[in-house]
């Protein structure tokens, strides 16, 4: 079955430290990959997406993600976290042959220590 | 500015009552979606519509209904058949072109009185 796994429910980092949020997917072929961020009580904002080509993709707010086909992973990174980055982060995948079906991971809540 | 507007932001439902959540978009997007979000479970697809006057069930459609009479609007009705409606509901839309991503509204939180 198709699935997305975000193994970390919570992550706490100090402000200014680096961040990596993990995402693994299970799919028959390489899907389209997305990272979204959600602040409390708000909708989801797209951070970045991967469709093809360069496996390191840049997004908004200084985030980047690296697609690793051999590991079925699409981990999100940021070199220096700001307090405003505290939020919930969702990884999502979409099959290339399906225009509607987004499958979401269960999310990782990021806490930032001052 | 273009965007997706969900209303109301908070909604309370009495037992046995149907309630309707509004979703309007002015992005000229073709497809619209409704998701339910529960703590620790990510988002689950309730219904989606690729074009006007057509919609399909998602993974958890039981107890919900939708309509798509206009391109801009995709209201969701939570019926009394939905026994556990307390959740955060998110509406999304996208342009049906290639690899366009889904864009989300700010959500409606539904609670039972």
Range with the poorest average pLDDT among A22-31, A68-77, B63-72, B82-91 = A22-31
**B102 contact residues in A (CB cutoff 8 A):** 102
Higher pLDDT, A14 or B41: A14
The two three-digit tokens of residue B9, written as one number: 């932001």
Residues B98 and A72: their CA atoms lie apart, in Å, by 23
A102 vs B102: CB contact, 8 Å cut-off? yes
- Minimum-distance CB partner of A49 among B90, B101, B104: B101
CA gap B21, A77 in Å, rounded: 36
- The whole-angstrom separation of Cα A24 and Cα A101 is 17
B40/A9 Cβ within 8 A: yes
Interchain proximity B40–A107, CB inside 8 Å: yes
CA-nearest of A109, A112, A88 to A10 is A109
Query: Rounded CA gap, A14 and A24, in Å?
Result: 25
A85: helix, coil or strand?
Answer: helix
Query: Mind listing the pLDDT tens digit for each residue in B52-78?
Result: 999 999 999 999 999 999 999 999 999
**Which of B31, B41, B103 lies at the smallest CB-CB distance from A100?**
B31
Strand partners, A48: A35
Cis peptide before A6 (omega within 30 of 0): no
Over residues A52-102, the pLDDT tens digits come to 888 999 999 999 999 999 999 999 999 999 999 999 999 999 876 666 778
Give the pairing type, strands B4-7 and B31-37: unpaired
Owner of token pair 């919900």: B64
Which of chain A's residues have a Cβ under 8 Å away from the Cβ of B41?
106
Q: What percent of chain A has pLDDT over 90?
A: 75
DSSP strand pairing (A3-5 vs B56-57): unpaired
Contact A43 B106 (CB under 8 A): yes
Torsion angle defined by CA atoms of residues B49, B55, B61 and B62, in that order, rounded to the nearest 10 degrees: 160
**SS3 letters across chain A:** CCEEECCCCEEEEECCCCEEECCEEECCCCCEEEEEEECCCCCEEEEEEECCCCCEEECHHHCEEEEEHHHCEEEEEECCCCHHHCEEEEEEEECCCCCCCEEECCCEEEEEEC
Residue B107 backbone phi and psi in degrees, to 5: 90, 160
Q: Which single residue is written with the structure tokens 């429910």?
A: A9
């Amino acid at each position: 079955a198709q699935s997305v796994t975000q193994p970390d429910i919570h992550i706490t980092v100090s402000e200014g430290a680096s961040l990596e949020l993990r995402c693994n997917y299970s799919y028959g072929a390489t899907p389209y990959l997305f990272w979204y961020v959600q602040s409390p009580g708000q909708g989801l904002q797209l951070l970045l997406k991967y469709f093809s080509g360069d496996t390191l993709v840049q997004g908004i707010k200084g985030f980047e993600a690296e697609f690793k086909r051999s590991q079925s992973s699409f981990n999100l990174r940021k070199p220096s976290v700001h307090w405003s980055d505290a939020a919930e982060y969702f990884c999502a995948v979409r099959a290339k042959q399906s225009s509607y079906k987004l499958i979401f991971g269960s999310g990782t809540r990021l806490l930032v220590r001052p | 500015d273009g965007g997706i507007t969900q209303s109301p932001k908070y909604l309370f439902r009495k037992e046995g009552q149907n309630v309707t959540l509004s979703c309007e978009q002015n992005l000229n997007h073709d497809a619209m979606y409704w998701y339910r979000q529960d703590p620790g479970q990510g988002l689950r697809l309730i219904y989606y519509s690729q074009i006007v006057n057509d919609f399909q069930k998602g993974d958890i459609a039981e107890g919900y209904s939708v309509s798509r009479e206009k391109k801009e609007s995709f209201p969701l009705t939570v019926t009394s058949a939905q026994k556990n409606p307390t959740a955060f509901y998110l509406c999304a839309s996208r342009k049906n072109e290639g690899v366009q991503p889904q864009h989300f509204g700010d959500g409606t939180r539904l609670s039972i009185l």
